[in-house]
Chains A and B, each alone.
Chain A
Amino acid sequence: MEYDKIFNELFDADGLRKGYYKLDGQGKYVLDTNPTLGEAVVNGLMLTELRTHLEESRKAVHAGLKSPLFYYMELRQFDLPTLAKSAGIASFRVKRHLRPEIFAKLKPSVLERYAKVLMVTQQELKTVPDI
């Protein structure tokens, strides 16, 4: 798999350079900004994995297996305890809200709490993008 390609595309686009220590010609350590092969590959691997997870969760929402809340939870890389803590809602309730039939009946006040921590609007929270 060409994971380093994914990394290199983003690396060229964003212009954010990190520093890496390296020996110069005189044997002194200096900071260099070229990323290593190891970093490129594992970063690409992480991005591929996160994107696949997100795509899977989007499909699950469309198939009616999960509520849109699940998609946005994956999008923000939250796990269940973190989402519960951030929104101030007990984790067993959050778990129930991941079921579509229960999520559909939620009051706007509860939706607002989720919308705030996930940084999306209430309207967005009710649907997932179709690509």
Chain B
Amino acid sequence: MITEYTATGKPFIHYHAAHCESGVTSALFRNKGVDISEPMAFGIGSGIFFAHLPFMKSLGHPVSTFRSQPGAIFRKTVKRLGGEFVIKSFRDPKKGMDELRQVLRTGQVVGLKTNLYWLPYISERFRFNFGSHNLIVLREIENGFRISDPTFEYPVDCSAEGLQKARFARGPMEGSGYMYYPKTVKLNPDLREACIKGMKDSCNMMIRIPLPFFGVRGIRFLAKRVIQSEGKLGIDEARRNLGAVVRWLEEVGTGGSGFRYMYAAFFQEAAELFGSEDLAELSHEMTVIGDTWRDFSVMSARIIKQRNKPEETFAKAGGLMLICAGREENFFKNLDQVARKLKA
């Protein structure tokens, strides 16, 4: 928690968060006086998901994402908590930057969608072409902007050219200078109803999409592909493919174990909110699922490091994923029952 100031001298508190989108959403709401934490925003926005898309490539490997599509958490949280947001995108970079400066001068903080590669303040280990990184601009400073990037511990400075390049970079998921800020938000929103909606939506997304790529079916689909990958692709390519899966699981701002720990944190808060034993029980269950995913990532890391131990094989790694799939299916079936009984 670090206190920063906007252009008109209003305080803004920078909270460290695990994920960019839920972090920005929660920070914007908190700045307007609605105190929701990051896991809460993640749960209400139904962030948890799984999809394996063999036809979509990132850095040459299929995409396997552990959260819903970019922008959905923000959109759903706003819809469920109530509030009016100004959302704009631009074709002309100059117009986009002028508009940003104008809004900042009124003392309003602005959320932006940027390309991670072009942000000047990050280091080499973060640099990859990902077009949907969210951050908050606090105020204009000399030759640049003061930025609160919730994925990092401290607020940072960013040059104006760098930010412009990051906002208007072309490519998959391009931002076109997408910016958003709250006009009004509903004070004292009905958190309980929003939580129930978020939970039910997550159940639908995880167990009721009748396609093999999404939800629990997607996990099983990927597990089978991991088990077969050694024979099909050869050991080196199979290792690289497995590395890509673990990157989506651990590296891209998931807060550990593909958002599963964050979701467990959401259930802890929800259990307090509803005073419900069932939800506390579900939180423990989600922690166990997170631990299983962690086991999978550690085993995969060992396979990639080529320790050549007989007990670490692709079949075992895939087996751990199948265990995760089974547990998650159970979890979301239970959650579906519990969420029906909760009273808003």
Q: Taking A21-B18, A21-B261 as contacts, is the C-beta distance between A1 and B306 under 8 angstroms?
A: yes
B249 at interface by CB-CB < 8 Å: yes
Kindly specify which of B78-86, B216-224, B296-304, B318-326 makes contact with the partner chain. B296-304
A130 at interface by CB-CB < 8 Å: no
Q: Taking A11-B125, A86-B171 as contacts, is the C-beta distance between A3 and B300 under 8 angstroms?
A: no
Interface flags for B150-190 (1: CB within 8 Å of A; 0: not) read: 01110000000000010001111000000000000000000
A84 to chain B, nearest CB (A): 9
Give B118's nearest chain A residue, CB to CB: A119
Please name all residues of chain B whose beta carbon is closer than 8 Å to the beta carbon of A3 when the two chains form the complex: 304-305
Give residues of chain A (1-37) contacting chain B, Cβ–Cβ below 8 Å.
1-4, 7, 10-11, 13-14, 16-23, 28-29, 31, 33, 36-37
Q: Taking A31-B18, A38-B300, A45-B240 as contacts, is the C-beta distance between A82 and B172 under 8 angstroms?
A: yes
B157 to chain A, nearest CB (A): 13
Interface flags for A47-87 (1: CB within 8 Å of B; 0: not) read: 10110000000000000000000000000111000100110
B142 at interface by CB-CB < 8 Å: no
Give A14's nearest chain B residue, CB to CB: B123
CA of A7 to CA of B300 in the docked complex: distance in angstroms?
17
A74 to chain B, nearest CB (A): 12
A39 at interface by CB-CB < 8 Å: yes
Q: Which of A23, A46, A50 contacts B247 (CB 8 A)?
A: A46
Q: Which of B170, B256, B294 contacts A86 (CB 8 A)?
A: B170
CA of A42 to CA of B305 in the docked complex: distance in angstroms?
9
B216 to chain A, nearest CB (A): 22
Contact call B125/A49, Cβ cutoff below 8 A = no
Contact call A23/B250, Cβ cutoff below 8 A = no
Please name all residues of chain B whose beta carbon is closer than 8 Å to the beta carbon of A20 when the two chains form the complex: 18, 255-256, 261
Please name all residues of chain A whose beta carbon is closer than 8 Å to the beta carbon of B170 when the two chains form the complex: 82, 85-86, 117
Which bracket fits the contact residues of B? Answer: 35 or more
Q: Taking A22-B261, A29-B39, A41-B305 as contacts, is the C-beta distance between A36 and B123 under 8 angstroms?
A: no
Interface flags for B242-275 (1: CB within 8 Å of A; 0: not) read: 0110110111010110000110110010000000
B211 at interface by CB-CB < 8 Å: no
CA of A3 to CA of B152 in the docked complex: distance in angstroms?
23
Contact call A82/B301, Cβ cutoff below 8 A = no
Please name all residues of chain A whose beta carbon is closer than 8 Å to the beta carbon of B123 when the two chains form the complex: 10, 13-14, 16
Contact call A17/B304, Cβ cutoff below 8 A = no
A43 at interface by CB-CB < 8 Å: yes
Q: Taking A10-B125, A38-B297, A46-B243 as contacts, is the C-beta distance between A18 and B250 under 8 angstroms?
A: no
Per DSSP, chain A at the interface is helix
Interface flags for B104-134 (1: CB within 8 Å of A; 0: not) read: 0000000000000100001111111100000
Listed residue (A10, A29, A33, A119) with the most chain B CB atoms within 10 angstroms of its CB: A29
A120 to chain B, nearest CB (A): 13
A-B contact count (CB 8 A): 128
Contact call B18/A37, Cβ cutoff below 8 A = no
Contact call A78/B243, Cβ cutoff below 8 A = no
Contact call A47/B124, Cβ cutoff below 8 A = yes
Q: Which of A1, A14, A40, A86 contacts B169 (CB 8 A)?
A: A86
How many chain A residues touch B (CB < 8 A): the figure is: 42
Please name all residues of chain B whose beta carbon is closer than 8 Å to the beta carbon of A45 when the two chains form the complex: 240, 243, 304
A37 to chain B, nearest CB (A): 5
Please name all residues of chain B whose beta carbon is closer than 8 Å to the beta carbon of A47 when the two chains form the complex: 124-125
Q: Taking A10-B124, A33-B153, A41-B301 as contacts, is the C-beta distance between A21 and B294 under 8 angstroms?
A: no
Please name all residues of chain A whose beta carbon is closer than 8 Å to the beta carbon of B301 when the two chains form the complex: 4, 37-38, 40-42
Q: A14-B125, A77-B127, A77-B128 are in contact. List 5 more A-B contacts (CB 8 A).
A: A1-B305, A20-B256, A38-B251, A38-B297, A78-B171
Taking beta carbons and an 8 Å cutoff, which residues of B are in contact with A? 16-18, 39, 59, 117, 122-129, 151-153, 165, 169-172, 240, 243-244, 246-247, 249-251, 253, 255-256, 261-262, 264-265, 268, 287, 294, 297-298, 300-301, 304-306
19 A-B contacts, Cβ less than 8 Å apart?
Answer: A1-B305, A10-B125, A11-B125, A16-B123, A18-B253, A20-B18, A21-B256, A21-B265, A36-B297, A36-B298, A38-B301, A41-B243, A42-B243, A42-B244, A46-B59, A47-B124, A49-B59, A77-B128, A82-B129
